[in-house]
Amino acid sequence: MGTSWSFQTDDQITSSPAVVDGTVFVGSHDGALYAFDETDGTLVWQFEMTERVLSSPAVVDGTVFVGSNGPDRAVYALDTETGDEVWNYEASNWITASPTVVDGHVYVVDDNQWVYAIDAADGSERWTFAGTDSVQPPLKTAGVAVANETVYFGSRDSTVYALDANDGTERWSSSTDGQIGSPPAVVDGSVYVGSDDNHVYAFDAEDGRERWRYETGYWVEASPAVVDGTVYVGSFDGTLYALSAADGTVEWTRNVGDELESSPAVVDGTVFVGSDDTKLHAIDAENGTHRWAFRTGGRVESSPAVVNERVYVGSNDGNVYALSGDARSDSSIPELSIRNLGIASAAGLLGVGYLLRSLKTDTAETDTSNSE
């Protein structure tokens, strides 16, 4: 199966890991940002904050950037080697969204729906954009996407905004009929985003004109993945949708049985997505065939990362996991329980981009109760 490891934190993990230069960075609801050695999971350092860490870290040029959900309301810049604080910037409210770092700027949204552009080197403010406070407390606050010197973000006021990345002036805005809680994907001149009005939208990246919309069965809180002309996105109705990026027509759907909050990743013809059913699912990207499901000990809201043929993901059971595996497709792989895989706790992962390496029958318990 290859080298694997897990680390138990003191609370659930909904933050998605970032893996850079041999270190895995991930936040936990126990209030800490952790750094682990990529090879064996040894704890390198941890940085304590005042409240849950929902924000996923971004790592650029030896600095890790992450938001705080506590009373400090800060974006932190930490040294990747030591975890020492380089600077922090105080926002107007909690920061549960993940920072995006492009061209020396850190872009982040707080829970008041304000957008900040911060100098990545020293934490000085470049500009702010005062969005509209949400009518009700946000389930999630969306991060931003940056492309062609434009910052795109979806707000809890049901609006998608395009801002000039240099000064924060609004270029255009387009409305949906529900709050937006996930970062958009910007690909080939289109902005793709989900909304709590049960739709997936495609807008023209230049002028905000709506190109198409597709109705799902419930909220869309996950970010779309757009690969080879197909938009893959999960919904709270428990279904993964594959839609034509050109016109939104459905190519296939696959119901996995519970809410999809994890954003899908598509690698080598397989879509990997976590579900509130405690499983990570692998689905054929071409036709939607369910290849396998891998059970963890809690909901999988975290979106996995794949680096050097190893998969990293967090679970609401409080663990971060690493598994090695081959990039191969094998529809005969059954649903598996982690309990007997020799990993440190009673949950496990197999995530974005790579399937499990061949398993000996005496190392895993087969569970066919939900296999397809």
Three-state secondary structure call for residue 178: coil
Task: Tell me the pLDDT of the chain averaged across its residues.
Answer: 84
- Highest mean pLDDT of the ranges 140-154, 264-278, 293-307: 140-154
Q: What is the CATH number of domain 1-16+265-372?
A: 2.40.10.480
- The answer to whether 271 and 279 are in contact (CB under 8 A) is no
User: Using an 8 Å Cβ cutoff, are 158 and 180 in contact?
Assistant: yes
pTM recorded for the entire structure: 0.85
Which DSSP category does 28 fall into?
-
SS3 275: coil
CA-CA distance, 51 to 68, in Å (whole number)?
7
* Structural domain spans, the chain: 1-16+265-372
Query: What does the pLDDT look like over 234-292, one tens digit per residue?
Result: 999 999 999 999 999 999 999 998 999 999 988 889 888 889 999 878 899 999 999 87
To 5 degrees, how large is the angle CA 30–CA 196–CA 94? Answer: 35
The confidence score (pLDDT) of residue 354 equals 29
